[in-house]
Structure formats: structure tokens, C-alpha cells
Amino acid sequence: MKESSFKSYDDLPLFLNAATVAKVLGVSPSSGYELMHEPGFPVLRIGNRMVVPKEPFIRWVSEHAGGGA
């Protein structure tokens, strides 16, 4: 797993793109992009562009954290 370059949610921009989502989660850019197409992921579509609002993203991470076996 890649290490995130972000040390706090406060460091995040108001809206995240696929590359930023990937960096925060420590996954590949393609995995970040795929995640943004998953049902239930808090993505906002503006024309052809997809962005993730910061606060719903933080809630999504909190809800999906800790499920590893």
C-alpha cells in the first residue's frame, strides 16, 4: 500500500479529484478512479467531471474503515 502524503483531513481541498482520492487512501490512481464509479460513493458529477466533496468523503471513509480481516 502506498503511504498517503496527507497527514490530516484539514490538508484536503474542498473537492477531491480521482488522483487526490487515490493519494489519501494510498491506492493507485486507477483504483481511485474506479472507486468514484462505485454505487454509494459520494461523488458529484458536474458535466463530464467527477469530484468528491471533502466532508462526505470523510464520512464515507469513517463508515468503511476497520473492516479488514
* 64 φ, ψ (degrees, to nearest 5): -105, 5
pLDDT values of the chain reduced to their tens digit, one per residue, 69 residues: 566 667 889 999 999 999 999 999 999 999 999 999 999 999 999 999 999 999 999 999 999 987 655
**What domains appear along the chain, each with residue ranges and CATH number?**
9-64 (1.10.10)
The one-letter amino acid code at 69 reads: A
Give the whole-angstrom CA distance, residue 26 versus residue 20. Answer: 10
- Provide the grid cell at 11: 490538508
pTM: 0.83
The reported pLDDT for the residue numbered 38 is 96
